[in-house]
Amino acid sequence: MSFIESEERIALRAAVSDFAKGYGHEYMIRQARAGERADELWRAAGKLGYLGVNLPESHGGGGGGIGDLAVVEEELGAAGCPLLMMVVSPAICGTVINRFGTEQQKQRWLPGIADGSTIMAFGITEPDAGSNSHRLTTTAKRDGDDWVLSGQKVFISGVDAADAVLIVGRTTDARTGRLKPALFIVPTDARGFEFKPIEMDLVSVDRQFQLFLDDVRLPADALVGDEDAALAQLFAGLNPERIMGAAFSVGLGRYALDKAVNYANQRNVWGTEIGAHQGVSHPLAQLKIELELAKLMTQKAAFLYDSGDDAGSGEAANMAKYAAAEATARIVDQAVQVHGGNGLASEYGLGTLIATTRVGRIAPVSREMVLNYVAQNTLGLPKSY
């Protein structure tokens, strides 16, 4: 691992940064307040190959790794226009299908995911099973060669834009009779599949949904990977999710910090710019340090994942997600404070980030569950649950 990025990745950063400036935070807020998605940005990013940089060239991708996709997400975020469905469609679903899917599944789904013409959502959370995947009640039963899937999911992003959802269900282990996780690709137009929007106090182009699966019949090839190894396959998708979540936060942190610094350099009170006062400059300097540390951990997690170290990347990805979310939530709060009343004025584009960046401390895994993970798996402390 090098602390200096390759020429290719530096060029990717520069290209995405230039591209994202043509949209920016104003575009995202305008679309969100109109009740629209960021389809124009999504399609343009897909056409340029940015959405599939982590997927193999043989199936329409860029042949890079999750580190490259994280760079795309970070630079979009630094321009104020990160794409949440990048965390889901190419990072989680694309990764799982690429690593564990059949050749037929790869040919069917990966090219569209890579160029953005196909979007796949991800369904794991349930009303009574958030972080505890062992309590999932969505079940799949065999019926001849088919599967029949029933259950509910909640807080599933982007279903209205998706062609299919990668659903985490459970099947019965014939040897023990116990339920075990399994992954299924469920088309959103399947009979028995319904979804309902959840009203959220977020100004976002991405909506959240509750899913209802009422005896959804699926062909045998809807199952992704090995039925007996689905837990490992699931976490193979969740580690990229955490890495991308960290990149999402780092990008928005850069955006908010830049706005705060620019304002502090321009706002003149009592004969000098407010950035000259340590009460303003020191918090911003501290947050810059915290953001850079979070970015380094994100890069480490991506490097470990792309090197094939699933266990190491799991630890680093959780730490990166935690560090980035915490730093960015504080950055946005401080940026608003630096702006004073202007921090909540729509013109300055910070107020809407308060809730948006707060989500990073909850999803895709809560800060408390990350701390549990580190306490138990890294420090070797006893479990509390």
Q: What is the pLDDT of residues 274-320, one digit of tens each?
A: 999 999 999 999 999 999 999 999 999 999 999 999 999 999 999 99
Alpha-carbon 218 to chain mean position: 27
Task: Please name the residue that has the structure tokens 């037929």.
Answer: 104
Q: What is the mean pLDDT of residues 86-90?
A: 98
Output the pLDDT for position 174.
59
Residues 176, 189 within the same domain: yes
- Measured CA to CA in angstroms, residue 133 lies from 168, 212, 229, 234, 322 at distances of 9, 18, 15, 10, 20
Residues 187, 265 within the same domain: no
For residue 254, the enclosing domain spans 231-378
Residues 42, 64 within the same domain: yes
Tens-digit pLDDT profile for residues 250-280: 999 999 999 999 999 999 998 999 999 999 9
**Which residue from 208, 107, 200, 213 is spatially nearest to 169, judged by alpha carbons?**
213
The pLDDT of residue 235 is above 90: no
Output the pLDDT for position 130.
75
Q: Is the pTM of the predicted complex or chain greater than 0.95?
A: yes
Euclidean distance between CA atoms 108 and 85, whole angstroms: 19
Task: Please name the residue that has the structure tokens 């970070």.
Answer: 74
Residues 278, 309 within the same domain: yes
Residues 220, 265 within the same domain: no
Question: Has residue 269 been placed in a domain?
Answer: yes
Domain count, the chain: 3
Which domain-ending residue is among 61, 96, 119? Answer: 119
Output the pLDDT for position 149.
97
Tens-digit pLDDT profile for residues 214-232: 999 999 999 999 877 767 7
Question: Has residue 384 been placed in a domain?
Answer: no
Q: What mean pLDDT is reported for the chain?
A: 95
Q: List the beta bridge partners of residue 212.
A: 152, 194
Contact yes or no for 71/9 (Cβ under 8 A): yes
Residues 144, 214 within the same domain: yes
Residues 211, 80 within the same domain: no
Euclidean distance between CA atoms 285 and 29, whole angstroms: 28
Residues 248, 337 within the same domain: yes
Q: List the beta bridge partners of residue 152.
A: 212
Residues 126, 115 within the same domain: no
Residues 97, 138 within the same domain: no
Q: What is the mean pLDDT of residues 369-373?
A: 96
